[in-house]
Amino acid sequence: MKPHTQVCVIGGGVVGCSVLYHLTRLGWTDVMLIERSELTSGSTWHAAGGFHTLNGDTNMAALQGYTIRLYRELEEITGLSCGLHHVGGVTLADTPERLDMLKAERAKHRFMGLETELVTPEEIRRLAPITNTEGILGGLYDPLDGHLDPSGTTHAYARAARMAGAEIVLRTPVLETNPRPDGSWEVVTEQGTVIAEHLVNAAGLWAREVGRLAGIYLPLHPMEHQYLVTDDIPEIYERDAEHPHVMDPGGESYLRQEGRGLCIGFYEQGAEPWAVDGTPLDFGHELLADKLEKVADSIEFAYRRYPVLERAGVKSVINGPFTFAPDGNPLVGPVPGLRNYWAACAVMAGFSQGGGVGLSLAQWMVEGEPERDVFAMDVARYGDWITPGYTRPKVTENYQRRFSVSYPNEELPAARLFRTTPMYDIFKDMGAVFGHQYGLEVVNYFALPGEPDYEIPSFRRSNAWDATAREVAAVRGAVGINEVHNFGKYRVTGPGARRWLNTIMAGRIPAEGRISLTPMLAPSGRIMGDFTVSCLGPEDFQLTASYAAQAFHMRWFEQHMAKGVTIENVSDRLTGFQIAGPRARALLARVTRADVSADAFRFMDVKRLDIGLTRALVQRVSYTGDLGYEIYVDAMDQRALWEALWSAGQDLGIRPFGMRAMMSLRLDRFFGAWMHEFSPDYTPAETGLDRFVRHDKDADFIGKAAMLRDRDAGPARRLCAFAVEAADADVVAYEPIWLDGRVVGFCTSGGYSHHAGVSVAQGFVPSDRITEDLEVEIEILGDRRRARRLTTPLFDPDGARMRG
């Protein structure tokens, strides 16, 4: 075992071996992997080996497509067989909602270049003849679906890495990982100690334990999972071709051919977290005892769906554990708070995702950033609020919902209530229907007495429609009030604060008392954040951005820290309200003695005001696009602020509003949203954020060179807004945009403008196809809808009200 290495990967499952291989492929060959036992000794050896591209997140789906296409290449490089069976697979829909979901998936696949196909029950019977299609409305066929040999594939990754110079050390548990002052790691084993410049935790079933060696909690948990392998079945072995995979979400099962019989696995409702207090260190190449009673209902259902099963004997039952994060996606990337410590764990579908995880992580380590936005699997999508108590019920829920329909407006129930503000009970009593964001309860809308106190999940317009319309009308017609707890907020102070902000932000850093909007860029020129910067004093700034990106942004700030700057995440310490609408100024004037007239308190000013009992920081900006103010106070003062605003606003027509109304209001002015219009997949020139970039400022800000190149070349695509002739469903995200019978782009977000009575979509179109009066078609749930480009905002087009 060598004493020094550039990277030490802990764990020789499919994920660790993929990371090792991809590092060598990108040119880092002084790398090693340390495995406690033999390769594949965790979840990997007993996997069913199935792979598929379907994933609700398009970038995850793209990485799954990459993984599947990689296997042939691995076989060619190494001469080893991955045991590939590219047999195709069909996902069944037994309800209209499930068919809607498959239609939405198919639509996304169009611009991703995936050749999936919606199929009828008749076609399903032809493709997968053992399927009883009674009650089936249709399905989605994916020719890329298949299965492989888990052990062969893992060894192929390992051999490819070794061939490029990587070292693999077997039968050597890592006992300690200790950070060194220079940012490297001391990796202690019984065979000796290795100094590693970078450490990768790919310890799968033991990723929690290996994380603890570095003092961190990684939010993942193992679940038990069972599949059965049958004896030989004549209807299978007498076929000319291998039987395709069949996913039957209604029966919570997946099925494929295994030799001359079948293999069927279940994601049952009675799912159980495994090894709650930690994965035993001596667990290895063994299985858990069968628990067939847990899947008895699913088996019964499967007998009806595939009658041949009932006649087949069971050859073996596999019950093994594997890990999930709370949302079911992997945990990948630099672990916040640690230097040179990388996660590659919670990969619940190692054979669909392992290649993409390895590629993305290796790009991140070698090139500084992955080639596409990987926020969906970024370990920093969770903050330090996350606990095992949260993770366990969410992981269980995720397992149980593996085959459930995922609706765009759905709010999941597990691990709630967790984080609330002082307003929770007050808003609850007012009829608030809450959603869940980054652990926090957030009001979606307010139901009237007699209306359901929950939003019915749907791909179409939901029962929140009327409430949203009421709240939008209150904002546009009088004054609305909404909490600002779900903004990420940061305090930047110190003598170096302005200089640092000028380097890290691409836009202008405002003068004292003023506010500016600015993108934050990666060196590649892609968007890392869209920030509001307020200058509170010569060495004192407040930043606001997306609440859900807190750990992501703090990690970036810490990675780019400079002398003389202190940055604090104050997201949960500062809260308050925004007030917006034509009477917002009148309301503010009633609760403070300060002069808040249009001349004294201008658009984009920031001031400290005494409001009622509180001392508040007030910013004259509003994401609603209306006359508005964001009012921030210490969380302890929030109720006093509420009392002041609420009582003063009664005869002004004040109404509370939630996120559904907010997202409708922002569409009136085509404002973008983080992770929709603005994400690390896009650049300022593509999205229009370039109007906030100041290339001419003195600072050589991060991303400047790339940004200038992009601007000079002209982006190949640009964001446009559209009015869509939608019927009962609006754009959510990733719907294809058709022009002249071809898919030319995709939507980033959309919804209904209750103010203008227009269904609005935003999306990317090739720059050379954009005209003032562009007409396209946007595919919503399988129907192509006519859409007309909008160039003038639907509300306050010249900004007179917002700025007045």
Ligand X SMILES: Cc1cc2nc3c(=O)[nH]c(=O)nc-3n(C[C@H](O)[C@H](O)[C@H](O)COP(=O)(O)OP(=O)(O)OC[C@H]3O[C@@H](n4cnc5c(N)ncnc54)[C@H](O)[C@@H]3O)c2cc1C
Pattern 62-91, binding to ligand X, x per CB under 6 A?
------------------------------
Quick one: which H or E segment has residue 117? strand 117-119
35 versus 378: smaller Cβ distance to ligand X: 35
68 versus 119: smaller Cβ distance to ligand X: 68
451 vs 175, 298, 457, 662, CA distance in Å?
58, 36, 15, 21
Contact 622, 628 (CB under 8 A): yes
Binding residue count for ligand X, defined by CB under 6 A:
42
322 versus 375: smaller Cβ distance to ligand X: 322
256 versus 666: smaller Cβ distance to ligand X: 256
What's the rounded Cα separation, in Å, for the pair 567 and 545? 14
Q: Which of these segments, 5-13, 268-276, 681-689, 795-803, binds ligand X (CB under 6 A)?
A: 5-13
Within residues 279-308, the interface with ligand X by CB under 6 A covers none
| Sole binder of ligand X in the list 74, 107, 210, 551 (CB under 6 A) | 210
| Sole binder of ligand X in the list 160, 203, 479, 737 (CB under 6 A) | 203
What does the block give as tokens for 653? 């027509």
What's the rounded Cα separation, in Å, for the pair 57 and 47? 23
Tell me how far, at minimum, the Cβ of 346 lies from ligand X, in Å: 8
- Write 66-71 long-range contacts (CB < 8 A, 24+): 66/355, 66/356, 66/359, 67/351, 67/352, 67/353, 67/354, 67/355, 67/356, 68/144, 68/146, 68/352, 68/355, 70/355, 71/148, 71/153, 71/156, 71/355
The amino acid at residue 309 is L
210 versus 579: smaller Cβ distance to ligand X: 210
Looking at residue 273, the DSSP 8-state letter turns out to be B
153 versus 482: smaller Cβ distance to ligand X: 153
48 versus 565: smaller Cβ distance to ligand X: 48
11 vs 35, 370, 377, CA distance in Å?
5, 22, 19
Pattern 41-60, binding to ligand X, x per CB under 6 A?
xxxx-xxxxxx---------
284 versus 307: smaller Cβ distance to ligand X: 284
Pattern 13-42, binding to ligand X, x per CB under 6 A?
xxxx-----------------xxxx---xx
Output phi, psi for 247, to 5 deg.
-100, 125
Report if residue 460 touches ligand X, rule: CB under 6 A: no
218 versus 554: smaller Cβ distance to ligand X: 218
Tell me how far, at minimum, the Cβ of 38 lies from ligand X, in Å: 8
Output phi, psi for 602, to 5 deg.
-85, 160
**Contact partners, residue 664, CB within 8 Å, separation at least 6:** 468, 472, 751, 752, 753, 754, 755
Pattern 346-375, binding to ligand X, x per CB under 6 A?
-xxxxxx-----------------------
Beta-bridged to residue 232, according to DSSP, are none
Tell me how far, at minimum, the Cβ of 620 lies from ligand X, in Å: 50
Tell me how far, at minimum, the Cβ of 583 lies from ligand X, in Å: 55
DSSP states of 498-550: HHHHHHHBSBPPPPTTBEEEEEEE-TTS-EEEEEEEEEEETTEEEEEEEGGGH
402 versus 508: smaller Cβ distance to ligand X: 402
203 versus 447: smaller Cβ distance to ligand X: 203
Q: Which of these segments, 97-105, 317-325, 453-461, 614-622, binds ligand X (CB under 6 A)?
A: 317-325
| Sole binder of ligand X in the list 225, 476, 498, 607 (CB under 6 A) | 225
The amino acid at residue 767 is S
204 versus 356: smaller Cβ distance to ligand X: 204
DSSP states of 673-721: -BTTTBSTT--HHHHTGGGGB-TTSSS--TTHHHHHHHHHH--SEEEEE
Query: Within 13 A of 531's CA, how many CA atoms are on the CB side?
Result: 33
Tell me how far, at minimum, the Cβ of 37 lies from ligand X, in Å: 5
> How many helical (H) and strand (E) elements, i.e. helices and strands, does the chain have?
21, 37
322 versus 438: smaller Cβ distance to ligand X: 322
Tell me how far, at minimum, the Cβ of 102 lies from ligand X, in Å: 20
543 vs 297, 491, 512, CA distance in Å?
53, 6, 14
Within residues 661-700, the interface with ligand X by CB under 6 A covers none
What's the rounded Cα separation, in Å, for the pair 385 and 56? 25
The amino acid at residue 39 is L
What does the block give as tokens for 568? 């604090």
35 versus 626: smaller Cβ distance to ligand X: 35
What does the block give as tokens for 469? 């319309």
Tell me how far, at minimum, the Cβ of 269 lies from ligand X, in Å: 17
Within residues 546-585, the interface with ligand X by CB under 6 A covers none
The radius of gyration of the chain's CA atoms, rounded to the nearest angstrom, is 27
Of the candidates 212, 203, 224, 207, the one whose C-alpha atom is nearest the C-alpha of residue 267 is: 224
| Sole binder of ligand X in the list 21, 71, 322, 601 (CB under 6 A) | 322
Tell me how far, at minimum, the Cβ of 47 lies from ligand X, in Å: 3
Secondary structure of residue 466 in the 3-state scheme: helix
What's the rounded Cα separation, in Å, for the pair 140 and 251? 16
Q: Which of these segments, 6-14, 396-404, 543-551, 659-667, binds ligand X (CB under 6 A)?
A: 6-14
Tell me how far, at minimum, the Cβ of 400 lies from ligand X, in Å: 16
What does the block give as tokens for 233? 């079945």
Tell me how far, at minimum, the Cβ of 364 lies from ligand X, in Å: 17
Cite the beta strand spans of 400-458 per DSSP E: 432-437, 440-446
Tell me how far, at minimum, the Cβ of 268 lies from ligand X, in Å: 13
Tell me how far, at minimum, the Cβ of 209 lies from ligand X, in Å: 6
114 versus 423: smaller Cβ distance to ligand X: 114
Tell me how far, at minimum, the Cβ of 45 lies from ligand X, in Å: 7
Q: Which of these segments, 202-210, 608-616, 692-700, 735-743, binds ligand X (CB under 6 A)?
A: 202-210
| Sole binder of ligand X in the list 71, 227, 459, 577 (CB under 6 A) | 227
Report if residue 320 touches ligand X, rule: CB under 6 A: yes
Q: Which of these segments, 4-12, 290-298, 445-453, 621-629, binds ligand X (CB under 6 A)?
A: 4-12
328 versus 408: smaller Cβ distance to ligand X: 328
What does the block give as tokens for 317? 């039952």
Within residues 141-200, the interface with ligand X by CB under 6 A covers 173-174
The amino acid at residue 685 is A
Tell me how far, at minimum, the Cβ of 150 lies from ligand X, in Å: 7
50 versus 751: smaller Cβ distance to ligand X: 50
Within residues 724-763, the interface with ligand X by CB under 6 A covers none
| Sole binder of ligand X in the list 61, 202, 302, 776 (CB under 6 A) | 202
Tell me how far, at minimum, the Cβ of 149 lies from ligand X, in Å: 11
Query: Within 13 A of 413's CA, how many CA atoms are on the CB side?
Result: 6
Q: Considering Cα of 648, then 651, then 653, then 657, what sign does the dihedral take?
A: positive
597 vs 511, 614, 620, CA distance in Å?
21, 20, 12
Q: Which of these segments, 7-15, 111-119, 488-496, 623-631, binds ligand X (CB under 6 A)?
A: 7-15
Site for ligand X, rule CB under 6 A: 10-16, 34-37, 41-44, 46-51, 173-174, 202-206, 210, 225, 227, 318, 320-322, 345, 347-352
